[in-house]
Structure 1
């Protein structure tokens, strides 16, 4: 499992590189949470919601602290890497940024201004989602959006409901989520937003920026995924 290797690698590096030990151990905990998430979703025995939320809140707080220290911006960009068949989460140092051409995980250290690069929580969820697909996602953005929200609610049961509006010509999709799991969805790389952003990035083969805010209407949260629509 990729996340398992990631957790072991960063924990081992934490032992060797004392100057970044705290960051590496925190990132190792991130990988372990991803494993716990997948195992929890596959298990027949239900984990109490309060326990799941508490575990994720700690992980999200650690990641957010690391992002503030290493990167600094509020940008959350999910970038596909077709050569390695994966999507990585990029937090740039400022809003004016260039995506690293050859990113490494957990982060690139060749340039101190690179920012933070992580394996997103939604990566393993998306891999699991792909194995459960019974049909092709197709080329349409709307079809992709509906498939992802359907997986979010029916397959993973991460939310009670999710309604999507798509504006292909603007390169934007907004998903209204009700009664989501793992606490507030605006936490760093929350599984719900992360899964959707990874899905759009992989499905559209282009970087996707994620923004999450309280809905204020009939839903709890409004999740917006945006991308460059020029080649959609």
Structure 2
């Protein structure tokens, strides 16, 4: 009697279906990984191309200045009557060419990267104020740090508050015997920008609020490129400066210690030597955001 051979076991349809799905998911993951790698390579290539384009732009400007300088120097030889002027122009052009060529920036940080960094910083500050139950009030108080005029951002604990002495503002947590003076004191984002703005502005910063705000507005747009436009409306008698901000490079201006509001408030506080409060509203007829800085109107005349 012959023994019957066992028939091969067939996989259930469910197992075949699961195996097929697993293979499909594996293929998808492999495809996605390849696409991510390609995107990373393309991103790196675009970054290098952008940096190269910027360097090329500066180098072309340097070559153009060098050519103009050389022409001016050659003209000084041909036209002796205007030799002094042409030599001055030639020397200026050649010097500017050398500076443009060798001081070409090698690293460019996009506004999006700066926005991410600022968003992280402001999230920490908002969490700190929320955890401590602090008010939304922002007071920029003038101080003297390491012998240099500066300011600190004081956020009070009480709605009805009084500003603590400048010596108490050196600490992060301001804890005094007077409960109305308690809160936190932070380094304003605009402090470093204001110091840089001082060096960028031709001449001295004005002591008069209206002119000072115009100078800070120009620095905000032209030097720091924090916004596409800033308009100012200053009433010194009322102790108020209203700033219309359009095209902010760092998102909504109504966030805590926004760079634009911070640089104006810090500049006013340091220059007028008086505390400055800041309020920001959005969706105005005048601009995308309206920043209002207030101070005691008699402070600038004392």
What is the TM-score when the length of structure 1 is the normalising length? 0.76
The residue that corresponds to 2:184 in the other structure is: 116
The answer to whether the 8 A contact 1:211-1:225 is kept is yes
Is 2:238 the counterpart of 1:174?
Answer: no
Length, aligned pairs only: 190
- CA gap 1:189/1:44 in 2 versus in 1, 3 angstroms: farther
The residue that corresponds to 1:105 in the other structure is: 171
Which sections of structure 1, spanning at least 5 residues, go unmatched?
A: 1-42
Aligned residue runs from structure 1 range 143-222, under 5 A: 143-222=211-290
The 1-side partners of 2:232 and 2:158 are apart by 29
2:135 corresponds to which of 63, 73, 88: 73
Task: For residue 233 of structure 2, give the secondary structure of its aligned residue in structure 1.
Answer: strand
The 2-side partners of 1:71 and 1:200 are apart by 28
After TM superposition, give the deviation of residue 221 of structure 1 in Å.
0.8
The 1-side partners of 2:160 and 2:198 are apart by 33
The residue that corresponds to 2:207 in the other structure is: 139
Task: For residue 88 of structure 1, give the secondary structure of its aligned residue in structure 2.
Answer: strand
After TM superposition, give the deviation of residue 110 of structure 1 in Å.
4.9
The 1-side partners of 2:129 and 2:294 are apart by 21
The answer to whether the 8 A contact 1:78-1:197 is kept is yes
The 1-side partners of 2:215 and 2:237 are apart by 19
Task: For residue 281 of structure 2, give the secondary structure of its aligned residue in structure 1.
Answer: strand
The answer to whether the 8 A contact 1:71-1:115 is kept is no
Is 2:284 the counterpart of 1:224?
Answer: no
After TM superposition, give the deviation of residue 112 of structure 1 in Å.
9.1
Which sections of structure 2, spanning at least 5 residues, go unmatched?
A: 1-104
Higher helix share: 2
The residue that corresponds to 2:126 in the other structure is: 64
The residue that corresponds to 2:196 in the other structure is: 128
Higher RCO structure (Cα 8 Å, ≥6 apart): 1
The 2-side partners of 1:149 and 1:121 are apart by 16
Task: For residue 59 of structure 1, give the secondary structure of its aligned residue in structure 2.
Answer: helix
The 2-side partners of 1:112 and 1:170 are apart by 29
The Cα RMSD (Å) is 1.9
Task: For residue 298 of structure 2, give the secondary structure of its aligned residue in structure 1.
Answer: helix
Considering only CA atoms, is the larger Rg found in Structure 1 or Structure 2? 2
The 1-side partners of 2:160 and 2:234 are apart by 26
